[in-house]
Amino acid sequence: AEKTGEYRARGNARATRDGVDVAADELVAFYRIGPGGESQQIYRMDAIGNVVITSGQTEAVGDKAVYHLDQRVVVLVGRKLKLISPQATITARESLEYWDEKEIAVARGKATVIQQDIRLQAGVLTAFIRPDKKTGKKEVKRIDATSGVHVSTASEIVRGREGVYDIDSQVAQLCGDVKITRGDNQLNGECATVNMKTGRSDLQGGGGKKVKGLILPAQ
């Protein structure tokens, strides 16, 4: 049978592996013992309390985390889950996954992208981290939104089934039973383009369908 063991570190514990830094109140490292008992391989690390995961310019925080080293994926849970990068801040209610090798982050449960006064929320948000063409630094370049999308700006609310947000252009594309609400007015269509910088959107019918709308006269 495979022999295993564990190490524990408490009080501002920190560990680094493959460019991923893990800091927490307590770290528990689980290891396997190789043939002959001469080598030890850490295959899992649990982080408990005030967890901060750092990879390049991207930082993820939570109450607890499990780092599966074989798959190079960190799963965070807790009350204040947050992924912070220079381009966007993502929060989640259920879990936050960071796949280091695939360079993606997955936020689940009322996942929200926050930029100034504009919010994009969905059941699941997947952030793709890629090198910037000019600086070479890894940055969040695209965010896919699924399981119901809700964009709120200062002047309108846009809803759809799924969407894609391009970080560089700050433009979100929503599709699937799209509804745009502006005060008492509502427009319905298949897709919408939302400029997250200006807060304005354009609606398209899609699939040969006409755009439908309910426009109420000003009072």
Each residue's pLDDT expressed in tens, for the chain with a length of 219 residues = 567 889 999 999 999 988 889 999 999 999 988 776 667 889 999 999 999 999 888 899 999 999 999 899 999 999 999 999 888 899 999 999 999 889 999 999 999 998 777 889 999 999 998 888 888 888 889 999 999 999 998 889 999 999 999 988 989 999 999 999 988 899 999 999 998 888 788 998 755 455 455 544 444
> How many other CB atoms are found less than 10 A from the CB of residue 97?
18
Q: Two tokens at 177?
A: 């039973």
Q: How far apart are CA 95 and CA 171, in angstroms?
A: 26
CB-based contact 85:138 (threshold 8 Å): no
Residue 166 has φ and ψ, to the nearest 5°, of: -90, 120
Tokens, residue 62: 């939570």
Contacts for 207 with CB less than 8 Å, ≥ 6 apart:
190
The residues, any chain, with a CB within 8 Å of residue 47's CB and separated by 6 or more, are: 13, 22, 23, 24, 26, 27, 53, 64, 65, 66, 67
Locate 161 and state its tokens. 């089934």
Task: Report pLDDT for 122.
Answer: 97
In the numeric block, which tokens belong to residue 104?
A: 């993606």
Q: What is the pLDDT of residue 216?
A: 47
Find the radius of gyration of the CA atoms of the chain: 21
The Cβ-side half-sphere exposure at 214, using a 13 Å CA radius, reads: 7
pTM equals: 0.86
Structure tokens at 143: 């965010």
pLDDT of residue 45: 95
How is residue 89 written in tokens?
A: 């801040």
